[in-house]
């Protein structure tokens, strides 16, 4: 009975596999499909951005970074076949040796032939992340929002405060940043997504207006009014076309600027101009406030050091004369005293009776 059940099971499995063979009416070759449509489509879409399966296997075995980048490794990590999938594919291949496997099944079979696939990919991904982090000279834009919130455990000062202190000490001539990015601050007040929707709506209404004008022209309508409305719509159409070109070029330059800042290519289109400008504008405002506070603290410390220099010293009159001035005043006083003394002696001599005159009897 048990052998009979096994034979029946194998026959049923063969029938099911044959039933699920992909036989196209236009004469395409048959393929054995084991995976469900969702899983198969996801793998096939991933294969469009990956090297050929043979190249992938060689690159994984040799850790070849030129053949497979970090995004490719992350993509393959999501495609690692489970034990059940490997077993189904192998059984289907044994049951239908003359029918090729589907592209998704063949890729999973190739991956399953690599020993310790998950461990290899995880190690390789860590190696790439470590090297990229070690050489990184930038940061994600969203980190700017966290600078005022992260504080040290000793003085409870924010990370932005420490950054401002370093900038002020090393670059004392630097500005407050906020006054330098007025254009970005103004851009933060504009919703570029809404602007694009407005341009699309204006274009649609302009086209509809042309149709309305054609319908009206079939009936009685003054030629002057028709010409006036035609000129108006023509001018509107030209302006809308120019605005769309300007908008597209601005967005393209913004995406190129994000790539210059180091953003990955796959994430550039997810960042809006409004979000980017708002983050920079708010950070610049926080930076200016923190910078003013740092400068005030620095000035207070400088004043405190100056007070410490004069602490304990004798307070002297600022208007008191110096030693040289005192010597000059003393010498002048002595000269005046000598002159007065000589004058008194001469006057005394002049008032005495003459010693040569005869003495009266």
Show the domain range for 246.
159-280
Q: Which tokens belong to 191?
A: 């919703």
**Residues 129 and 89 reside in one and the same domain:** yes
**Residues 122 and 194 reside in one and the same domain:** no
The most confident of 211-215, 261-265, 280-284, by mean pLDDT: 280-284
Does the reported pTM lie above 0.75?
no
**Residues 130 and 163 reside in one and the same domain:** no
Is position 318 within any domain? no
**Residues 191 and 82 reside in one and the same domain:** no
Boundary-marking domain end, from 280, 314, 340: 280
State the pLDDT confidence band at 27, using cuts at 50, 70 and 90: very low
**Among the ranges given (55-64, 135-144, 159-168), the one the predictor scored with the smallest mean pLDDT:** 135-144
Measured distance CA(53)–CA(66) in Å, rounded: 15
Average pLDDT over residues 227-241: 91
**Residues 165 and 261 reside in one and the same domain:** yes
Closest by CA to 141, choosing from 294, 289, 281, is: 281
**Residues 194 and 237 reside in one and the same domain:** yes
Is position 338 within any domain? no
What region does 311 belong to: left with phi over 0, alpha with psi -120 to 50, or beta? beta
**Residues 67 and 164 reside in one and the same domain:** no
Is position 124 within any domain? yes
Q: What is the pLDDT of residues 174-197, one digit of tens each?
A: 888 888 888 888 888 888 888 888
State the pLDDT confidence band at 28, using cuts at 50, 70 and 90: low
Is position 120 within any domain? yes
CA distances from 175 to 4, 180, 279, 295, 298 (A): 87, 8, 19, 12, 16
**Residues 96 and 41 reside in one and the same domain:** yes
Boundary-marking domain end, from 280, 310, 339: 280
Do residues 96 and 90 make contact, with C-beta atoms less than 8 angstroms apart?
no
Dihedral of alpha carbons 329, 334, 339, 340, sign = positive
The predicted pLDDT at position 115 comes to 85
Average pLDDT, the chain: 79
The residues near 51 (Cβ < 8 Å, ≥ 6 apart) are 59, 67, 68, 72
The most confident of 95-99, 214-218, 247-251, by mean pLDDT: 247-251
Q: Which residue has the higher pLDDT, 276 or 360?
A: 276
85-118 burial, b if ≥16 CB within 10 A, otherwise e? beebbeebbebbeebebbebbbbbbebbeeeebe
**Residues 163 and 128 reside in one and the same domain:** no
**Residues 10 and 129 reside in one and the same domain:** yes
Measured distance CA(229)–CA(273) in Å, rounded: 36
Boundary-marking domain end, from 231, 263, 280: 280
**Residues 127 and 230 reside in one and the same domain:** no
State the pLDDT confidence band at 23, using cuts at 50, 70 and 90: very low
Q: Which residue has the higher pLDDT, 147 or 138?
A: 147
Is position 182 within any domain? yes
The predicted pLDDT at position 234 comes to 92
State the pLDDT confidence band at 15, using cuts at 50, 70 and 90: very low
Kindly state the helix (H) or strand (E) to which residue 248 belongs, with its residue range. Answer: helix 223-261
**Which CATH number covers residue 100?**
1.20.58.2220
Percent of the chain at pLDDT > 90 equals 12
Is position 300 within any domain? no
**Residues 164 and 128 reside in one and the same domain:** no
Measured distance CA(134)–CA(123) in Å, rounded: 16
Is position 339 within any domain? no
The predicted pLDDT at position 218 comes to 80
Is position 257 within any domain? yes
> What's the structural domain count of the chain?
2
Q: Which residue has the higher pLDDT, 7 or 92?
A: 92
Q: What is the pLDDT of residues 291-336, one digit of tens each?
A: 999 999 888 888 888 888 877 665 555 555 555 665 666 566 656 5
User: By three-state DSSP, how is residue 75 classified?
Assistant: helix
The residues near 247 (Cβ < 8 Å, ≥ 6 apart) are 192, 195, 196, 199
């Amino acid at each position: 009975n048990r052998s009979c059940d096994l034979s029946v099971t194998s026959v049923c499995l063969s029938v099911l596999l044959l039933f699920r063979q992909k036989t196209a009416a236009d004469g395409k070759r048959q393929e054995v499909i084991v995976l469900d449509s969702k899983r198969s489509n996801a793998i096939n879409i991933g294969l469009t951005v990956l090297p050929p399966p043979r190249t992938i296997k060689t690159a994984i075995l040799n850790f070849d970074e030129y053949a497979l980048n970090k995004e490719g490794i992350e993509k393959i990590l999501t495609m690692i076949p489970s034990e059940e999938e490997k077993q189904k594919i192998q059984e289907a291949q044994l049951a239908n040796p003359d029918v090729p496997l589907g592209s998704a099944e063949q890729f999973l079979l190739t991956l399953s032939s690599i020993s310790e696939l998950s461990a290899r990919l995880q190690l390789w991904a860590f190696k790439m992340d470590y090297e990229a982090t070690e050489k990184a000279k930038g940061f994600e834009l969203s980190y700017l929002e966290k600078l005022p919130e992260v504080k040290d455990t000793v003085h409870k000062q924010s990370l932005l405060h420490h950054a401002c202190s370093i900038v002020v000490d090393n670059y004392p001539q630097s500005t407050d940043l906020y006054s330098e990015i007025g254009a970005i601050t103004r851009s933060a007040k504009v919703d570029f997504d809404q602007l694009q929707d407005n341009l699309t709506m204006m274009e649609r209404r302009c086209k509809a207006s042309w149709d309305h004008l054609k319908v009206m022209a079939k009936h009685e309508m003054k030629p002057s009014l028709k010409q006036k409305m035609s000129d108006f719509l023509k001018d509107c159409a030209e302006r809308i076309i120019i605005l769309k070109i300007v908008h597209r070029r601005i967005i393209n330059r913004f995406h190129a600027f994000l790539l210059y800042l180091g953003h990955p290519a796959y994430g550039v289109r997810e960042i809006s101009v409004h979000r980017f400008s708002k983050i920079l504008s708010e950070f610049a405002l926080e930076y200016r406030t923190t910078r003013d506070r740092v400068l005030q603290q620095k000035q207070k410390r400088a004043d405190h050091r100056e007070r410490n220099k004069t602490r304990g010293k004798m307070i002297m009159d600022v208007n008191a004369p110096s030693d040289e001035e005192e010597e000059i005043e003393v010498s002048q006083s002595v000269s005046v005293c000598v002159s007065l003394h000589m004058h008194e002696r001469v006057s005394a001599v002049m008032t005495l009776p003459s010693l040569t005159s005869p003495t009266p009897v």
